[in-house]
Structure 1
Amino acid sequence: MKILQLLRDNATRRPVNLVRNGADATLYIYDVIDPYWGVSAPGVIDAIAQAGDAATLHVHINSPGGDVFEGRAIMAALGRFSGKTIAHIDSLCASAATSIALACDEVEMSDGAFFMIHNASGAVWGDKNAMRETADLLEKIEGAIVNDYVKKTGLDEAQIVDWMNQESWFSASEALSYGFVDRIAEAPKGAKNTWNLSAYTKAPESLCKTEPEKLETPPVETPPEDKKPAMGVANANRLRLLQVV
């Protein structure tokens, strides 16, 4: 239930912003990863389409994570971009947001930012069979995420699994030394944590104490009920509640 709390507390519904500047385009993922409450895969896909034939797409990230399946769809969308992709971790890159960052060709992390990985988690209601089925599904999901981290870092799978079991938070220098990012950038002036991270058990105290910062972004229209994606009750229970790295 802690991950559901994360989504509830950070449900700001900020739009996906894309800026085109000459040969480059800049995409901002500054929200939870979620099809209804934050950055959605369709929103990112639309933004990438607006980038058109840009030679380079800069993906700026400040996100506490969110829905694993939405995150995987965003990863696939970035992989289909014809130009070069560069992730810029501006402040926080946690949970599902880390996989999005690593889907880019290069990863740059601001000095003072944080990178967090942890185990898959979810909620299920049912008997012992439903519980076992969900646990098996979570292990499969974790396997895909571990593969992403191993591919990027070149580290041993056992080390990645151990870090995920512990809910591990890495500074920019640590993330660089372990191979999660390719370089460190100077931190933006006045960078602040904008998220309620109480859903995580080991969030750095410095982040938990930081006052939320209001982001100046234009309002986004809420799609009408008949336009929202539909899914069966069983899939809603299994997929919508799964939140992960």
Structure 2
Amino acid sequence: MPIPKLLQLATNNAGQSKPIRAETEGKEATIYLHGVIGGWWGDIDETMFAQAMAGIDADVIHLRIDSPGGDVFAARSMMTAIAQHKATVIAHIDGLAASAMTGVCMACDRVEISQGAGFMIHNAWTITVGNKADMTKTGDLLAKIDAGLAGDYTRRTGKDQAQIVQWMDEETWFTAEEAKEHGFADEVVEIVGKKKASNTWDLSAYDNAPAALANRKPEPDDGVAAAAAHQANLSRRLALLERPAA
């Protein structure tokens, strides 16, 4: 079967979840978020992140970010961990913040983006299997996810929500300067005497990735195993949302 683009993104960029540790110096700590979000397909595990955040006693936490996105529910869990921490949390976009990782950035107190780095927002993706009722439920879930993210972007940027929704509909990629201009970032960090940020991810799953960023070729994959894993994960998410309140 052809591999859906969501799973193409995951399988072409996935690694294995690595322990997330905070490097602490004085009253500041640093966590590196490099990879795809979502422990079930590797790289950045949201539970490990929450545990790492909970263990930090610092005034300032720096998140060093380079990510093509991932599981939006996992990202939302990370956003909650950030919002509930007493420290000032600063997102540093070193290479790429795309898709779900942009939500993580929006939860931070400050966002700094390096020259040459990228920032992308779009509508949520998924795959589902089932009858028309299943498809309708999934569509309703995606609409709720999109509305939540649009609200996050609107509050952060002060932009009209209709403009935000249009950007999401069009899968919009921003340069560092554009991200600052539109309010997604607070500062563009100039890298003096060093190479500017560059992309390390396979972005071929995205429709509008700039040619300068889409520089990796995907590995062939029929997507069967990944699709099965994703469908099981989505079913668990839907079951939780449909559970009646106590």
CA gap 1:178/1:105 in 2 versus in 1, 3 angstroms: same
User: CA deviation digits over 1:42-96, x for unaligned, max 9?
Assistant: 1111221332x21100111100000010000000001111111111111100000
Cα distance in structure 1, aligned partners of 2:93 and 2:112: 6
Cα distance in structure 2, aligned partners of 1:235 and 1:210: 27
Describe the SS at the equivalent of 2:94.
strand
Unaligned runs of 5+ in 1: 213-232, 241-245
Q: Which amino acid aligns with 1:146?
A: A
Cα distance in structure 2, aligned partners of 1:163 and 1:203: 14
CA gap 1:34/1:97 in 2 versus in 1, 3 angstroms: same
Question: Of 153, 158, 162, which residue of structure 1 is paired with 2:162?
Answer: 158
Match of 1:24 in 2: 28
Question: Of 168, 192, 197, which residue of structure 1 is paired with 2:198?
Answer: 192
TM-score in terms of structure 1 length = 0.84
* 1:238 positional shift: 6.0
Describe the SS at the equivalent of 1:88.
strand
Match of 2:213 in 1: 207
Q: Which amino acid aligns with 1:138?
A: L
Identity of aligned residues (%): 45
Question: Of 16, 22, 34, which residue of structure 2 is paired with 1:13?
Answer: 16
Cα distance in structure 2, aligned partners of 1:211 and 1:129: 37
CA gap 1:3/1:69 in 2 versus in 1, 3 angstroms: same
Cα distance in structure 2, aligned partners of 1:194 and 1:58: 21
Match of 1:228 in 2: none
TM-score in terms of structure 2 length = 0.84
Cα distance in structure 1, aligned partners of 2:147 and 2:86: 28
Cα distance in structure 2, aligned partners of 1:194 and 1:96: 17
Match of 1:48 in 2: 53
* 1:234 positional shift: 6.7
Alignment check: 8 A CA contact 1:13 1:31 kept: no
* 1:150 positional shift: 0.3
Alignment check: 8 A CA contact 1:124 1:238 kept: no
Cα distance in structure 2, aligned partners of 1:43 and 1:234: 21
Q: Which structure is higher in RCO with an 8 Å CA cutoff and minimum separation 6?
A: 1
Describe the SS at the equivalent of 1:45.
helix
2:141 corresponds to 1:137: yes
2:2 corresponds to 1:4: no
Match of 1:39 in 2: 44
2:124 corresponds to 1:120: yes
2:241 corresponds to 1:237: no
